[in-house]
Amino acid sequence: MNASHNLINTLQEFDLGNGKQGKYYSLPALEKAGVGPVSKLPVSIRLVLESVLRNCDGKKVSEANVKELANWKSTETRTAEIPFVVARIVLQDFTGVPLLVDLAAMRSAVAKLGKNPKIIEPLVPVDLVVDHSVQVDFAGGADSMAKNLDLEFTRNRERYQFLKWGMQAFDTFKVVPPGIGIVHQVNLEYLAKGVLSTTLEIGNRKSEIYYPDTLVGTDSHTTMINGLGIVGWGVGGIEAEAGMLGQPVYFLTPDVVGVHLTGALTEGVTATDLALTVTQLLRKTKVVGKFVEFFGPGAAALPVVDRATIANMAPEYGATMGFFPIDAECVNYLRATGRSEEHCRLYENYYRAQGLWGIPQKGQIEYSQLVELDLASVRPSVAGPKRPQDKIELPNMKRDFISAFSKPVTESGFGMKTEELSRVVHISAGGEIHPGGGSQKSGTDDNARKSEREMANEHPTADPVHASAARLDGDVRNGSVLIAAITSCTNTSNPSVMLAAGLLAKKAVERGLAVNSTVKSSLAPGSRVVTDYLNKTGLSPYLDKLGFQTVGYGCTTCIGNSGPLHPAIEDAIVKNNLVAASVLSGNRNFEARVHQNIKANFLMSPPLVVAFALAGRVDIDLSCEPLGKGMDGAPVYLADLWPTLQEVRDAMQSALKPEVFRKLYKDFAAQNPKWNEIPSSTGNAYEWDAKSTYIQEPPFFTGFSMTPGSIKPISGARALGIFGDSVTTDHISPAGAIKKSSPAGKFLIENGVAAEDFNSYGSRRGNDRIMTRGTFANVRIKNLMLGGEEGGNTIGPDGAKTSIYDASIAYQAKGTPLIVIAGQEYGTGSSRDWAAKGTNLLGVKAVVAQSFERIHRSNLVGMGVLPLQFKEGTTAQTLKLDGMETYDIVGLDANIRPQQDLTLKITRKDGKVENVPVRCRIDTPIEIDYYQHGGILPFVLRQLVAKA
Ligand code: SF4
């Protein structure tokens, strides 16, 4: 048990609301002692300050850290790093499994050193929610969900067995099994407590200390919890591992951008429209690496579920957090979602005692920058076709799609000829396609059937299943909606937009509208509570009728697990090079994210997803063109179907019922027989199975010794790839399909895995052999060394084109270090530790980019890869790099300082030498330690072993 301190007399008491007093570290006491103007700080900074104060031990966190943060200034050059000890960690399964693999590998390394493996144990509670694995193989049928769940368990059995081993091996590691919900929604509805407590020793007595709920999660959209006044954001798995092993999460003191919300949303406008508007506004404001804090009367009037939708999209606007302060709406939400009355009183009393109760009004806090938004100015919108920040007001959708169709690819267009826009392909194919089988009848030809089989083999799911049992009959053309998905915790956590979708579906069905069989529609709620209120309001049957049957409780289309389209449709798209569309209530629409063959992807609210599914196309102006004809033959417009605010409010009465949350979040293991049937191994150290293609001991601790290496210059490096702007973590380490012809596909086949059992890269993150082969293997990544050709290829040491993996092996065999060169925003997109781990295992020693995404930069350092940044105006293009050069990184030694300038020495093929200044993006002193130790894991392991 840890001992408490009473720094500056801040350990005080408050009324727990049950007649007893509780202890806490008081921020007002800090101010009273003259340490700093604490009550004037942004609320988000004050919450971090509480953690710094409480965890001040003179070692990891010093009194100077407390004083520095208590005197946060709205504008100044940011150099100080904050050591932030979080209260808990949340994980999803794609990122959580590799993290558990690393913990297991650390235990194995400790056992090999002759020590007790139990010294590796999470020091803060860890909750892993299995939500990323379910795929939409089946949709549009009453049994779709059960069939998808069956397949999920078949495909992921080994991973789930491993998770069950983790549950018994670690005391503080808990798992929410598959079929329960999506991590951020489960966090909001169940895991989050708002205030936590722990027992500490004060003098000789034990005492309960209360403190704010704070967390980091291994998923970018962890920020959803900011909507409930909880500080938390997404980090890479590597930082989360350090966090759970008692290390602070270090980050540079942030600027805090205040967004002053006024007014109220008008009739016809949803929280999703607001989130897309905020995303566009804040992208323009440039909030990368900053906290965003919403305040003012508009913020105070928003319910927590709307706040959560806006907060969820913080990664899309680039902020570390999109934070809403704490007020009565938060406690109302906690109460409505089944948290106990006693806890709600404690929660309110705690934040009142801390002076943190209520949404600040203008003038109370000095923010680094002020942004104004009148909620009444928000209009119904969508975002796309390629980026979440490209908002389009609904009436402009048709115009913008037509314009994007022929715009060059470099301007976010599709580079097609205008005259091709009107190309129509008629598809008439047989009814239900059975798993593993072909279509009953194809309206195309034998070639189509051949192609169908081929595609089934290339597809990770192996089961070519069409959305609907109905016969497929319709036209597919440029702009056709082929996927319509109500998906993503961004929206499914918000009953107002989910009920609006149900109400719109009801009106559409009553008017006689239907969704064409060419559209694969699906509904994937983020928790079972959604199903409960859609049933209670009587709206489920209408959604079902339009094909929006529930397909599972998980991420599905939002993460790209949209499953296969009907083979005849895929064939039509590929053969005719169609720019087909998806409409989804997700938050990401990068190329190939939603589906490999769907090029135009539009984000929108759930009711608009239903509307566009009905329209069947995106080149339509829904403000004046009808969605279709009703049963009376009259045109039906969106305005005829759109539910009023009052209708949504009436339906909301059924949505937030505490007893439903209590029932559905109780003892879910018992409610999940499939999970219970999975056997698990026991013991403190994991018994690795050399034959497993899912779980392997990673080589991060091979040859581990207690002495770290030294920092040295990098000499004679060659380029493994030269990339352009906006290379995403999905380009670097794809989550989706494994192609048969790729290095990972070949490896799986060599190891006896049939193509239909490949599963996705995301599900294979417990196996470094596959993930290293999959690094830079995204079919859409463009290597400028090959003239921008798509696919994970490069030029090997022999000058011939080869896969990036094979080139890396050849270079590593010669002892040649490698570098990667890139443009702006390198590593943008979801946090993905394998993007850094794979880079390391490919032998890449440095990445030189024009700019880096925050988490990916820190993950590179966390894996011992050096991030370097070109100076403004310098790029691979201005330097005319073609990848044939040799590179030295000069100035790198044991005296390196954060953000120091170094020299990139370029030796061209003809022997000419050029010295280019670059900034070392090791940003903080602790990162220098991580880099020296070869990464954060060896660093932490050496500390823990030394202490044991
Ligand atoms: S639904 Fe989407 S945003 Fe939410 S956790 Fe899953 S992938 Fe992330």
* Test site for ligand 1: of 94, 188, 489, most ligand atoms within 8 A of the Cβ: 489
> Three-state DSSP class for 834?
helix
555 within ligand 1 shell (Cβ under 6 A): yes
Contact 617, 478 (CB under 8 A): no
pLDDT category of residue 115 using cuts at 50, 70 and 90: very high
CA dihedral (678, 681, 682, 683) in degrees, to 10, reads: -150
Residue 841 CA to residue 907 CA, distance in Å, equals 25
Least confident of 189-198, 830-839, 860-869: 830-839
Residue 450 predicted with pLDDT over 50? no
489 within ligand 1 shell (Cβ under 6 A): yes
Query: Tokens 């239900």 — which residue?
Result: 432
Residue 353 predicted with pLDDT over 50? yes
578-598 pLDDT, tens digit each: 999 999 999 888 877 888 889
> Three-state DSSP class for 842?
coil
CA 163 / ligand 1 centre spacing (Å):
20
Residue 410 predicted with pLDDT over 90? no
Helix (H) or strand (E) holding 183: helix 183-186
* Test site for ligand 1: of 182, 594, 760, most ligand atoms within 8 A of the Cβ: 182
219 within ligand 1 shell (Cβ under 6 A): yes
Residue 461 CA to residue 567 CA, distance in Å, equals 13
Using CA positions, which residue lies closest to atom 6 of ligand 1? 555
Residue 459 CA to residue 453 CA, distance in Å, equals 10
869-909 pLDDT, tens digit each: 999 999 999 999 999 999 999 999 999 999 999 999 999 99
Residue 313 CA to residue 279 CA, distance in Å, equals 7
Residue type, position 826, single letter: Y
Using CA positions, which residue lies closest to atom 1 of ligand 1? 488
Closest CA to 560 of 97, 135, 145: 135
Rounded to two decimals, the pTM is 0.86
Contact 244, 203 (CB under 8 A): no
156 within ligand 1 shell (Cβ under 6 A): no
Contact 489, 556 (CB under 8 A): no
The pLDDT assigned to 737 comes to: 84
Residue 432 predicted with pLDDT over 70? no
The pLDDT assigned to 455 comes to: 29
The pLDDT assigned to 2 comes to: 60
Residue 431 predicted with pLDDT over 80? no
Burial group, residue 406, by CB count within 10 angstroms (0-12, 13-18, 19+)? middle
pLDDT category of residue 756 using cuts at 50, 70 and 90: confident
| Selected residue with higher pLDDT from 165 and 201 | 165
493 within ligand 1 shell (Cβ under 6 A): no
Using CA positions, which residue lies closest to atom 8 of ligand 1? 221
Helix (H) or strand (E) holding 251: strand 249-252
CA 489 / ligand 1 centre spacing (Å):
6
Closest CA to 498 of 601, 602, 648: 648
The pLDDT assigned to 869 comes to: 98
221 within ligand 1 shell (Cβ under 6 A): yes
Contact 528, 485 (CB under 8 A): no
Neighbours of 206 (CB within 10 A): 10
* Test site for ligand 1: of 184, 530, 556, 588, most ligand atoms within 8 A of the Cβ: 184
The pLDDT assigned to 449 comes to: 28
587 within ligand 1 shell (Cβ under 6 A): yes
Residue % of the chain over a pLDDT of 90:
79
Residue % of the chain over a pLDDT of 70:
95
Average pLDDT over residues 912-940: 93
Average pLDDT over residues 508-537: 96
Least confident of 111-120, 316-325, 758-767: 758-767
Distances (CA, A) of 744 to 188, 323, 855: 37, 40, 26
Residue 193 CA to residue 678 CA, distance in Å, equals 30
